[in-house]
Structure 1
Amino acid sequence: MSSETEERVQFSSIGFSGLKQHCTAMETMKSNPEDCSQTELAQSPLINGLPDDIALFCLARVPRRYHALLKCVSKRWRELVCSEKWHSYRRKHNLDETWIYALCKDKFEQLCYYVLDPNVSKRCWKRIQSLPPCCLKRKGVGFQVLGKKVYLLGGCGWVEDATDEVYCYDAAMNTWTEAAPLSTARCYFACEVLDKKIYAIGGLGSNSSDPHSWDTYDPHTNSWRSYTDLNIVPDIEDSIVLDGKIYIRCGSSTPSSHVYAVVYDPSSGIWQHADADLVSGWRGPAVVANGILYVLDQSSGTKLMMWQKDRREWVAVRRLSHLLTRPPCRLVAIGTSIFVIGKGLSTVVWDVGKTGNLGGMMVSSSVPKLTSDDDVISCKCVAI
C-alpha cells in the first residue's frame, strides 16, 4: 500500500471514528442534560477526533438541501450553519448554492412565499409557511436580497396608508425579524441593491411623503438615509442594476410608445435620463445575466430580447411559446441561465450562454407549475 493510500485510509478512519464518537456523545447529552453545561457545549469540537478547521472543511461541502438536517445534530452545528463564518467560507471556496425565492399573491389576495432549489434533478417549488402576519394583505411591497437575508419592505392595504415597516428573513435560520423602518413610508416603489446597500426609490407614500425621494439602507448600522431628486417619479414599472448603475423604468399616464427611464450613478449621486436607445427596447420584465441585459417583450407574442451594448441595439434571442409561459412573468438569472417564472410559478429555464454555440437554439428545461394560479410579484436569488 502506498503512503498516499495509507494517509487516505487513516484520515477516513479518523473521520468516521470521530463522527461515531460525536453521535454517541450527543446521545449522552440528550439523556443526561444536567451533566452538560453550556461551557462544555461551547468548548466541544465540531466533530470528535478532528480539529475544527478540518471539520469545517468537511461540513461545508454538504449540499445546501441538507443544511436543515445539520442544524439538528447539535447546538454548535446549528450555530455554525447559521453563522456568517459558514456563509463566507462557502462563498470563498465556491461552495455556495443559489436558491430562488418568489413572493406571490394567491387567489385570496394574500401574500405567499416560495423557494426553488435549481440544483436538483427533480425541481419543484416549495411553500415557506412563515410570513409576518401583518404583511399578508399588503400590496406594493418591496422585495430584495442582501447577502443571505431577504427583506420585505413597506407596502399598503385597501384601508391603510403606506407603511415604513421592514422585515428581514434569514434564509439560513428560516426566521423573520423586524429591521429598521424606512425613512419614508412607501408602496409600489423600486427596490435594488448597489454597493451592499438597499435602495428604496420613489413609489407612493403618505400625504407627507416626498414622491421624488429615495432611501438607502446600511445593514452594518441597521439604519436608513433619505435623499431627494426631482428626476424620480412616483409611477415605477421596473428596475435593474447594470454596469454599477441603477436604472428605473417609469410608467406613463398617457398612452404613448415612449418609455421613460432614469439612471442613478453612485459616483455622482444624481439621477438623470437614461440612454434612449437602451430604454427603447425595455418593454417588459428585465434581468441582467452575466453582465448582459435581457428583456421579456410581451407586447406582440412573447420573445426574449438582448441589449447589445457595443452595437447599441436590441436583438431578438428567441420567441417563446405561449404554452410555456403564463403572463404576468418575472425574470431571474443564475449565471447564464434565465428563469422565466409566470402565473402559478410555471417556470422555463433558458441557457443563454449556449445560444451562440447552437446556431441560435436555446437549451431549455421547465419546472412544473403549482396546482394554484398564484401571481408572481417578484423573484430573487439567495446564495449560501
Structure 2
Amino acid sequence: MPSPFRANKRFAESEMRCSTAKQKNVQTSPSISTKSTSQMSPDYHCPILPGLPDDVAKLCLALVPRRNFPIMGSVCKRWRSFIQSKEFTTIRKEAGRLEEWLYVLTHDTKGKGSHWEVLGGLGEEHQLLPSMPGAKKAAFGVVVLDGKLLVMAGYMADVGATCVSADVYQYDSRLNRWSILAKMNVARYDFACAEVSNMVYAVGGYGADGESLTSAEVYDPEKNEWTLIGSLRRPRWGCFACGFEGKLYIMGGRSSFTIGNSRFVDVYNPENHTWCEMKNGCVMVTAHAVLGKKLFCMEWKNQRKLAIFNPIDNSWKMIAVPLTGSSRTVFRFGVLNGKLLLFSLKEEPGYHTLLYDPDAAPGLEWKTSAIKPYGLCLCSVTIKA
C-alpha cells in the first residue's frame, strides 16, 4: 500500500497532466460542444492517489494515523476536503481506526496562563494546540461537535465581566487550526452548553449587563447559524448541560427563584420544542462528565463520593472515592477509552491521577493512572477522529 505522503509529488504531477490534457483538448477541438466536453471529462479524472481507484485511495488515507492529518490536509484541496468529510470518519470507524484523545485546558502554575494540550494513552507524547484566536476569555462554554472543539462566548478575562462576548471559535483537530463560526444571538457567560443530536445548545448564564438569563439558543452546523428557542421558566447561571437519548438536561447552578443552589433539572425535548423539569438534581457541582449512558458528578460538599445519574429511571447512586486526607481537594474529570479520570486541582508530591473503570469487576473499579496534564486541569473534552 503506497504512502500518501510519498504520493504528494506524483499527485501534483498527475493534476498538472490532467489540467494540460483538458486545455489541449478544448483548444485543439473548437467544434466540440460543451456537452461533449462534459461527456469526455471522466477520461481525465484526476485520482486521489495516482495508480489506485478512488475507493482504495480513500481507504489508504483513512488508515493514516491521526497525528498525520494536518500534513495530509496541506497536500492539496482534495485531500483536505476528504479528511474533513463525514465519509472519512465513516471509513475510519468501519476500519476500526478511530482514535480517541483527551483535550485538556490547563492552567500553567508558573504563571504562563492557560493552554490546550492533548493527551492520548500511556506513552503518548503530549501535544499543544495553537493559541485560541481573539482576546483571552473566561467563563466560556466548551463543546465537541462532529470531532471538532467549539469554544463559545464568555467574557474578556483582561477586562472583566463588563465585556461579554458572543464569539464562537472552532478547532479542527484534523487540520490543527482554529476558525471563526457564526456569533451567538445572546452574549453570555457562566452558562450551560452541550451537544444533542449533532446540534449545540447554549442555555442561561449572565448577559452583557450582568443580568441572569432565561434565554436559550441552538447552533446548526449545516447552516452555521444560531437560533433562539423557548426560554427557561426561571433564570439560571453557573449550571451545566448534558445530552441523553436526544434530550437536553440542565443541572446545578443557581436560580433567582430558589434559595441557594438549585436541585431542579430542566429538560428540553427538541422534537416538540418544550421544557419540563425534575426535582432530584445535583447541587454545587465541581466536576461532571458523561461516560457511556450515565452522568458522573462530584459535589463541592462531598469530594469523596461520585454521584452517578441514570437517565433511564432518573435515579442517582453514590460511589466512594478511595482517598484519605483532606476532603478539600477538588477534582476535574476527563473521559478516555471508556474510563473516568480524576485530575486533582491541588498539586501534591507523588500524586497520581485516579482512574475509575465502570466495567471492572467489583472491588477493582479504582486504579491510579500515569496520564496527567502538564498543568492544572480547568476543563476537558474527548474527541474521536
Give the TM-score taking structure 1 as reference length. 0.77
Aligned to 1:115: 118
**Equivalences for 1:168-247 in 2 at 5 Å?**
168-207=170-209, 211-247=213-249
Equivalent pairs: percent with the same residue?
Answer: 23
In structure 2, distance between residues paired with 1:217 and 1:297:
30
Shift of 1:323: 8.6
In structure 2, distance between residues paired with 1:175 and 1:349:
31
In structure 2, distance between residues paired with 1:247 and 1:282:
16
Deviations 1:86-133 (A, max 9, x none): 223223444221212123444558442121223xx314543213310x
- Give yes or no for contact 2:101–2:336 (8 Å, CA) kept in 1: no
Structure holding more helix per residue: 1
- Give yes or no for contact 1:290–1:335 (8 Å, CA) kept in 2: no
- Give yes or no for contact 1:307–1:315 (8 Å, CA) kept in 2: yes
Cα 1:222/1:70, change in 2 over 3 Å: closer
Aligned to 2:67: 65
Q: Which stretch of the first structure deviates more once superposed, 320-329 or 341-350?
A: 320-329
In structure 2, distance between residues paired with 1:21 and 1:163:
45
Cα 1:265/1:55, change in 2 over 3 Å: same
- Residue 272 of structure 1 aligns with an amino acid whose one-letter code is C
Cα 1:257/1:222, change in 2 over 3 Å: closer
- Residue 221 of structure 1 aligns with an amino acid whose one-letter code is K
Report how many aligned residue pairs link the two structures. Answer: 353
Aligned to 1:10: none
1:273 to 251, 273, 277: 277
- Give yes or no for contact 2:196–2:243 (8 Å, CA) kept in 1: yes
- Give yes or no for contact 1:168–1:179 (8 Å, CA) kept in 2: yes
Aligned to 2:153: 154
In structure 2, distance between residues paired with 1:249 and 1:80:
38
Aligned to 1:12: none
Shift of 1:192: 0.7
Aligned to 1:352: 358
Aligned to 2:268: 264
**Equivalences for 1:1-384 in 2 at 5 Å?**
15=1, 22=7, 25=10, 36=16, 39=19, 43-71=45-73, 76-106=78-108, 108=111, 110-118=113-121, 121-132=122-133, 134-136=134-136, 138-157=137-156, 158-159=159-160, 160-207=162-209, 211-252=213-254, 259-276=263-280, 279-280=281-282, 283-307=285-309, 313-321=315-323, 327-334=329-336, 336-343=338-345, 347-354=353-360, 357-359=361-363, 361-370=365-374, 372=375, 374-376=376-378, 378-384=379-385
- Residue 25 of structure 1 aligns with an amino acid whose one-letter code is R
> Secondary structure of 2:239's partner?
strand
- Give yes or no for contact 1:259–1:282 (8 Å, CA) kept in 2: no
In structure 2, distance between residues paired with 1:79 and 1:202:
36
> Secondary structure of 1:86's partner?
helix
Aligned to 1:5: none
- Residue 117 of structure 1 aligns with an amino acid whose one-letter code is G
- Give yes or no for contact 1:123–1:367 (8 Å, CA) kept in 2: no
- Give yes or no for contact 1:251–1:260 (8 Å, CA) kept in 2: no
> Secondary structure of 1:56's partner?
helix
Cα 1:165/1:209, change in 2 over 3 Å: farther
Which structure 2 residue ranges, 5 or more long, are not aligned?
Answer: 22-43
Q: Which stretch of the first structure deviates more once superposed, 317-326 or 77-86?
A: 317-326
> Secondary structure of 2:321's partner?
strand
Shift of 1:72: 5.9
> Secondary structure of 1:25's partner?
helix
In structure 1, distance between residues paired with 2:372 and 2:326:
11
In structure 2, distance between residues paired with 1:60 and 1:183:
37
Deviations 1:24-44 (A, max 9, x none): 737x95xxx9x9478379954
Shift of 1:141: 0.9
Cα 1:306/1:71, change in 2 over 3 Å: same
Shift of 1:198: 0.7
Shift of 1:243: 3.4
In structure 2, distance between residues paired with 1:167 and 1:224:
14
- Give yes or no for contact 1:337–1:351 (8 Å, CA) kept in 2: yes
Cα 1:19/1:88, change in 2 over 3 Å: closer
